[in-house]
Amino acid sequence: MTREIFISGEHQRRDGDAEPAPRRSSGAVRVGVPLSAVPLIVSCNGIQSALDPAGEEARQVATLFWVMTVGGLAIWAGVIALALYASRWKRGAITTEAAGRLIVWGGVVFPVTVLTALLAYALWLMPSLRPFGDQTQAGLRVEIVGSQFWWRVVYHRPDGSSIVSANEVRLPLGRRVEFSLTSSDMIHSFWIPALGGKMDLIPGRTNRLSLQPTKSGTYRGQCAEFCGRSHALMAFPVVVMQPGDFESWLAARASASPGVVESRSAETLFLRHGCGDCHRVDGTQARGTSGPDLSHVGSRLTIGASLMTNDAETMARFIAHSQSLKPGSLMPTYLDMPSADLDAISAWLKGLQ
C-alpha cells in the first residue's frame, strides 16, 4: 500500500464533507499522524465505520469489540498452538487421565467462566445503551419511514410542529434523539454505524431507536436489510451539527424555500411533467407524498439517497435516467423530456436551498 492511496483516501473523506459543516478536527488529526504509516486497508476509520465512533452507543460497542477481539485472538492462538503441539510437535503421548482433565478445564471450566462474564457484561449494557421515554432528555423526535429505495425523514419538534425532509438526517451534537421507524412497503433497516447499531423498519410495526451523537461531522448511513432490487443504493448522509446551528437549520426548513419563486416557468414545467404527483415542494401546487419531499432539495448533500453529489447536472441525469441509475425505484425515467425543460427543472430544484 502506498502513501498515495492513503492520501487519496483522506482526500475523499474531505470531499464527503461538502457542506460547510463543523469539521471533525480531532478525527483528522488522529488519522493524519499516528496512522500515516499504516496501510489504509487496515485502518478502521471512515464515514460509515462502526470502529470510528461518533456516538455514545457506537463508542461503547467499539470498546466491547476491541476487548473481545483481543481476547478472541488470544484464545484462538492458544487453541491452535495446542492443536499444533498435539498433532505435530510433541514427542510423547500424555496419559488418558491428563487428557480427560484437559477436556474438563479447557472445554468446560474456561469457556463457562469467560462466557458468563461476557454475557453478564452485555446484558448489563443492553438497557443503558438505548434509554427511551422518561430518560430521554432531548425533546426532538425523528420519524423515519423507509420506502423502496429512499427515506422519509420527519423532525417532530417539542412544540408539536413537524418538518418533512428526505434522504438526509441532521442531528444536534450531544443531544439524545429518539427515532421512530416504520416502513411503507418492504422491511428496511436503519443503520448509522458511526453513531450506533441498527434497527429494522417493518410494515405494520413501529420500532424505536435512540442515538446520541458525540462528535460533529458528516457520516453515512445505509439500509441494512435487503429490500429489493436497489437495496444497495439506499443510503443517506448524516450531519451532526452544533445544537445552535441545528436549530437555525431546522427553523429555515419550516417554511418554503426562497428558491421557489426564482423561476416560475421552471415551477410550471415541474408541474406539467407530473413531478408534483409524487413530490411535494412547499409553496407550490406540488403536493405528492409517494416520493421524497423536495422543498429544500437544493441544500441536501446528495441526491437519489446518497447516490450522487448534488448539483444541477447530476439532478438532470437522475431525472432522465433514474431507472438505469436506480433500478426498480418508483421514479420513472424521463428520457424524452426536452433538454431545455430538464435543465430548467434541475436548476430550479438545485436552487431550492
Partner 1 sequence: MWRLLPKEVESLWTLFTAPVVWALHFLLSYVGAAVFCEKPGLLGEDFDNLRVAIGLITVLSLAVIGVSALLAWRQWGFGTGDPPHDDPTRRDRLLFQGYATLLLSGLSFVAVIFTALPALFITECLR
Partner 2 sequence: MSAAPPPDRDKVAEEAQLRTVWATPEGWRYWTSVNNTQVGLWYGSAAFAFMLFAGLLGLLIRAQLAVPENDLLSAETYNQVYTLHGTVMMFLFAVPIFEAVAIFLLPPMLGARELPFPRLGAFGFWSFLIGGVFVCGSIFFGAAPNSGWFMYPPLATSEQAGIGADIWLLGLSFIEVASLAAAVELIVGIMKCRAPGMRVNLMPLFAWYLLIVAGMILFAFPPLIAGDLLFEMQRMFDWPFFDPERGGDPLLWQHLFWIFGHPEVYIIFLPAIALLAMIVPTFAGRPIVGYSWIVLAAVGTGFLSFGLWVHHMFATGLPQISLAFFSAASGAVAIPTGVQIFVFIATMLAGRVIFSTPMLFAMGGLAIFVMGGLTGVMVALVPFDWQAHDSYFVVAHLHYVLIGGMLFPVFAGLYYYYPLINGKRMSDRVGRLAFWLMFTGFNIAFFPMHLTGLRGMPRRVYTYPADIGWDWLNLISTLGAAVLGIGMFAVVVDVTLNRRRQPRGEQNPWYAGTLEWISEPEENWGVRSIPRIESRYPLWDQENLAREVKSGAWYLADAREGRRETLVTSVLDAEPEQVLRVGGTSYVTIISAVTLGTVFVALTFKWWIVSLVAGLAFVAAVIWWLWTGTGEIPEKERKDIGRGVSLPLYASGVKSTGWWAMFITMTGDGTAFASLVFGYFFFWTIHQDFTGGVAGPGVYWPMAALSLFAAAWAATVGAREVNRRGGVGAARVLLVIGALASAAGCAAALAGPWTTGMDPTAHVYPAIVWVLVSWAAVHGAVGILMLLYCLARSLAGRLTRRHDMELHNVALYWHFVMVTALVTFGVVGLFPEAL
Give least dist CB 123 to partner 1, A.
Answer: 4
Give least dist CB 94 to partner 1, A.
Answer: 16
Query: Which DSSP category does 34 fall into?
Result: T
By CB under 8 A, the residues from 179 to 208 that bind partner 1 are 207-208
Would you give the binding string for partner 2 spanning residues 62-101, x where CB under 8 A is met?
--xx--xx--x--xx--xx-xxxxxxx-x--xxxx-xxx-
By CB under 8 A, the residues from 6 to 65 that bind partner 2 are 9, 12-13, 15-16, 40-51, 57-58, 60-61, 64-65
Phi, psi dihedrals of residue 308, rounded to the nearest 5°? -145, 160
Give me the torsion for CA of 14, 20, 24, 29, rounded to 10°. 60
Query: Smallest Cα–Cα separation from 27: which of 3, 10, 6, 7?
Result: 10
Q: Is 133 in the site for partner 2 (CB under 8 A)?
A: no
| H helix intervals, 274-350 | 312-325, 339-350
Identify what 45 binds: partner 2, partner 1, none; CB under 5 to 8 Å per kind.
Answer: partner 2
Q: Is 240 in the site for partner 2 (CB under 8 A)?
A: no
Q: Is 5 in the site for partner 2 (CB under 8 A)?
A: yes
Q: Is 23 in the site for partner 1 (CB under 8 A)?
A: no
- Cβ atoms of residues 345 and 266 within 8 Å: yes
Per-residue H/E/C for 151-202: EEEEEECCCCCEEEEECCEEEECCCCEEEEEEECCCCEEEECCCCCCCEEEC
Candidates 33, 37, 123, 340; binder of partner 2 (CB under 8 A) is 123
By CB under 8 A, the residues from 95 to 114 that bind partner 1 are 96, 100, 112
Does 149 sit behind a cis peptide bond, omega within 30 degrees of 0 on the bond before it?
A: yes
Q: ∠ CA 300-269-313 to the nearest 5 degrees? A: 40
d(CA 167, CA 128): 29
82 Cβ partners below 8 Å, 6+ apart?
106
Name the amino acid, one letter, at 218: T
Cβ-based nearer residue to partner 1, 123 or 340: 123
By CB under 8 A, the residues from 180 to 209 that bind partner 2 are 181, 185-187, 189, 191, 193-194, 196-200, 202-205, 207-208
Q: ∠ CA 316-20-311 to the nearest 5 degrees? A: 5
d(CA 306, CA 237): 7
Identify what 49 binds: partner 1, partner 2, none; CB under 5 to 8 Å per kind.
Answer: partner 2
Cβ-based nearer residue to partner 1, 116 or 324: 116
Cβ-based nearer residue to partner 1, 207 or 263: 207
Give least dist CB 108 to partner 2, A.
Answer: 6
Cβ-based nearer residue to partner 2, 175 or 231: 231
Give least dist CB 322 to partner 2, A.
Answer: 13
Candidates 32, 78, 127, 332; binder of partner 1 (CB under 8 A) is 127
Q: Which residues face 151 on adjacent strands?
A: 146
- Which residues contact partner 1 (rule: CB under 8 A)? 96, 100, 112, 115-116, 119-120, 123-124, 126-127, 130, 132, 207-208
